[in-house]
Amino acid sequence: MQTDAPAERGGYRHEAVLYDCEEEFLGIVVPFLREGVAAGEPCLVALGSSTAGLARAALGDITGVTFLDDGGRYGRPASVIRSYRAVVAAHVADGAAQVRVVGEVPHPGLGVPWDGWVRYEATINHAYADFPLWGLCPYDTRITPDAVLDDVARTHPHLATTDGHHEPNPRYQDPLEFLTRRPPADPDPLETASAPIIDLTDPTPAAARRAVGALSATQPGNTQLDTPQPGCIDIDDLVLPVNEAVSNALTHGRPPVRFRLWTAPDHIVATVTDRGHGPTDPFAGLLPSTGTSSGTSSAGLGLWLTHQICSQVTLDRTDDGFTIRLVMGTAHPGRTQNGLQRA
């Protein structure tokens, strides 16, 4: 089946693929990749194990399509942006006129919180704008929540349809507008299930670091999380993100500054709240620095590093102020949240 490809190459073409059966998925993705191979364009595939298996079987023994290893590709939004920019830049340096990517973005239907990934979907319209990149983001409508599908419609400038066309999306919103107007994320269930084991008001960054370090030292049996994510996540990994969050709140926010932390066997949640408005740059943390965020460039770099370290980061503004939520690990659905005992 032939598709209606863009008339001109250059810049980032970001398309959503909505499908409700395997045949529709393959009917869009396979021609997209085969046409890229025929044109001599590097083709990257970053899918979950199930959809990757479908695509592999349908494509057969084809040269020119690279399947990225399942698991690490979409671990953290800021890390994905950094790695894709590097990979596409390398292909362009080698002479590629265009790079094609099929990437399955995590969402609640796949067992992953959505807030960080919807920021990713909006931000990459800006982050990849200078690259000759054509990306398809497949979403299975059988498992994708309606609220996520609504966000998908607002963050993708183009749609790939099941009849083989690639069309402009009339519901697309400018990323700055979309991110600025996005409502706050829901709190982690730990925040409402139990009292925090650390609760400090107007702490110095050093005091916040000491509190996290003392928790790790006094609870050695619970320092390492029971998490399915690759690698070992430690309470000590939160020292730098907490330091950055408290420092930014004290420097750029308005008092009082409150630092709280909760733990469970599979994840840790820390929040830092102040009465200010938070960064003015909606891309803050997902990119090293855009030059428009409030505060210094070093503060922007610290927030970017925080996004590289933490499993999830949310930046929420309400009438009462600004909250940054730092999460290490991933909650196991249905597990009883037996956190550490309150000190």
Shared-domain flag, residues 297 and 173? no
The count of domains in the chain is 2
Question: Three-state DSSP class for 262?
Answer: strand
Last residue of a domain, one of 130, 163, 181: 181
Shared-domain flag, residues 72 and 200? no
Indicate whether 343 belongs to any domain: no
295-322 pLDDT, tens digit each:
445 557 899 999 999 999 999 999 899 9
Shared-domain flag, residues 216 and 80? no
pTM of the model: 0.87
Shared-domain flag, residues 125 and 85? yes
Q: Residue 338: which pLDDT band, with cuts at 50, 70 and 90?
A: very low
Indicate whether 51 belongs to any domain: yes
pLDDT of residue 219: 58
Shared-domain flag, residues 28 and 175? yes
Shared-domain flag, residues 132 and 79? yes
| Dist. CA 36–CA 55, nearest whole Å | 15
Shared-domain flag, residues 36 and 55? yes
Residue 133 bridge partners (DSSP): 12, 99
Last residue of a domain, one of 181, 208, 233: 181
| Dist. CA 216–CA 238, nearest whole Å | 10
Indicate whether 4 belongs to any domain: no
CA atoms within 13 A on the CB side of 157: 14
Shared-domain flag, residues 85 and 212? no
- 245 CB-near residues (< 8 Å, 6+ apart): 259, 270, 272, 306, 324, 326
Among the residue ranges 46-50, 226-230, 281-285, the one predicted with the least confidence is: 226-230
CATH number for the domain that contains residue 276: 3.30.565.10
Shared-domain flag, residues 305 and 261? yes
Q: Which of 92, 88, 103, 179 is nearest to 135 (CA)?
A: 103
Among the residue ranges 55-64, 99-108, 293-302, the one predicted with the least confidence is: 293-302
CATH number for the domain that contains residue 174: 3.40.50.300
Indicate whether 169 belongs to any domain: yes
Last residue of a domain, one of 160, 181, 202: 181
Indicate whether 75 belongs to any domain: yes
Indicate whether 338 belongs to any domain: no
Task: Residue 238: give the domain boundaries.
Answer: 189-329
Shared-domain flag, residues 54 and 172? yes
Cis omega (within 30 of 0) for bond into 288:
no
Indicate whether 340 belongs to any domain: no
Indicate whether 16 belongs to any domain: yes
147-163 pLDDT, tens digit each:
999 999 999 999 999 88
Shared-domain flag, residues 125 and 248? no
Shared-domain flag, residues 168 and 196? no
| CB contact at 8 A, 294 and 310 | no
pLDDT of residue 193: 92
Q: Residue 329: which pLDDT band, with cuts at 50, 70 and 90?
A: confident
